[in-house]
Amino acid sequence: MDAKLRYKAKKIKIVFFDIDDTLRNSKTGFIPASIPTVFKQLREKGILTGIASGRGIFGVVPEIRELKPDFFVTLNGAYIEDKKGQIIYQHQIEKSDVEEYISWAKQEGIEYGLVGSHDAKLSTRTDMISEAINPIYPDLDVDPDFHEKEDIYQMWTFEDKGDDLHLPDSLSDKLRMVRWHEHSSDIVPISGSKATGVEKVVEHLGLKPANVMVFGDGLNDLELFDYAGISVAMGISHDNIKEKADYITKTLEEDGIFDALEGFGMVEKELHFPQVDIETVEGPI
């Protein structure tokens, strides 16, 4: 690892982690055994931890909550809580924009999802939607009028149009589309991103971008990689993420997070010595 990067790591006071395919395999749910050690050792060194995810707070699985991160930057920065459940920041999409988006989706012949702070609903349920959303939120109900009951922080497309799909001009100056799946994109406020959310936490703590390290793998991490003092891409990251990263680590399954942090001098392997039963052992010990 580059010596200058190791030196920069001495300034780090908070580390943010993406969830899917960074801390946890999005398809199998696998979390490396080294991850609890990472959070424990960072905590012992006085380094704060945070989650920075496109997921809602209701989509943060129990295994991740058990790691006891200090902050949850969710819904691509639109809703942020600390570990005590206190809201640090929230930004809802205007109801008129939600309604216009739904009208546009219907005109385009595509399905949609509506995401509140603590729940989300689908316009309908199809095999294509289930393939995209079930690994993240396996039990979402159908309610195409969810926006009439709850504030909306984020929306989804469900379609097979890929990069040919674009928001209409009347919405593109207020909302933007961030593709996260072959058949789905997040629709977020144009100024909204994980970076915006992390910046709110950094300001709340009185820190600077140079004090921030981030781990991620997807396109919704691009702005965050620009913002943070040190950005680390997982081994399976999108090529655009790898190009922006200060360091590319191994894959999740290869203990990429621990390996990178060990290289930065921020965690160490824990030594486990065998326990000896003195009464049954002969000779010197």
The model's pLDDT over 225-283, given as tens digits with 9 standing for 90+, comes to 999 999 999 999 999 999 999 999 999 999 999 999 999 999 998 765 455 454 554 54
Catalytic residue among 18, 70, 186, 246: 18
What is this structure's pTM?
0.88
Enter the DSSP assignment of 133.
H
Instruction: Please name which of 78, 54, 64 lies closest in space to residue 132, comparing C-alpha atoms.
Output: 54
Residue 201 has pLDDT above 70, yes or no: yes
Q: Is CATH 3.40.50.800 what the domain over 3-90+192-264 is classified as, yes or no?
A: no
Instruction: Please name which of 56, 84, 58, 62 lies closest in space to residue 197, comparing C-alpha atoms.
Output: 56
Beta strand pairing status for 212-216 and 184-189?
A: unpaired
> Starting at the edge strand that comes first in sequence, how are the strands of the sheet with 14-17 ordered?
87-90, 79-82, 71-74, 48-52, 14-17, 212-216, 230-233, 247-248
Q: Output the six-digit token pair for 38.
A: 């990472």
**pLDDT > 70: percent of the chain:** 95
Q: What is the distance between the alpha carbons of residues 111 and 129, in angstroms, rounded to a whole number? A: 8
Residue ranges, CATH 3.40.50.1000, the chain = 3-90+192-264
List the helix and strand counts (H, then E) for the chain. 10, 14
Looking at CATH, the fold of the domain delimited by 95-189 is given as 3.30.1240
Check: CB of residue 156 under 8 Å from CB of residue 188: no
pLDDT confidence band for 102 (50 / 70 / 90)? very high
Beta strand pairing status for 120-122 and 111-115?
A: antiparallel
18 a catalytic residue: yes
Would you state the pLDDT for residue 2? 86
Residue ranges, CATH 3.30.1240.10, the chain = 95-189
Would you state the pLDDT for residue 273? 45
Q: What is the distance between the alpha carbons of residues 216 and 263, in angstroms, rounded to a whole number? A: 17
